[in-house]
Amino acid sequence: MLILDLKHQIGKNRNSIFFEYFLNSRNLTDITRLEPFVHLRFIDLSNNRLRTINSLNRLKFLLTIKLDSNELSSFDLPPFTYLQTLSLSNNRLRSIVGIEQPRLEILNLNRMFIFFEV
């Protein structure tokens, strides 16, 4: 079961708009339930067991994505118009397609293992 720590919310019904989700250290392997939350601005998915992040593709308003310490072997996101901070430290990437973002200011690749096949 996915339980969300919600920090900023507008509205008190099922049509509420959430701006921040903190889902770090939840042992998550699937984030498809996040797809309806298209107005998110900040998401922390660090310290989980994520292998894919395709479910983030619909969250076009994100400013910050934290994906540190997961099991990602590829990073493939379309351009996000507003994305400014991306943290991917401590993953084992083989592909970094989508790392070029139009407004990206901070890119964290600390403790990164990047493997490229020749």
**Rounded CA separation 65/1 (Å):** 22
Report pLDDT for 46: 98
Put simply, whether the predicted model's pTM sits higher than 0.85 gets the answer: no
Decide: 82 and 65 in contact? Cβ < 8 Å: no
Range(s) of the domain holding residue 76: 1-118
Domain count, the chain: 1
Domain containing residue 58: CATH number: 3.80.10.10
Query: Are 17 and 6 within 8 A, CB to CB?
Result: no
Residue 39 is classified by DSSP as T
pLDDT of residue 115: 63
Per-residue pLDDT of 61-88, as tens digits, reads 999 999 999 999 888 889 999 999 999 9
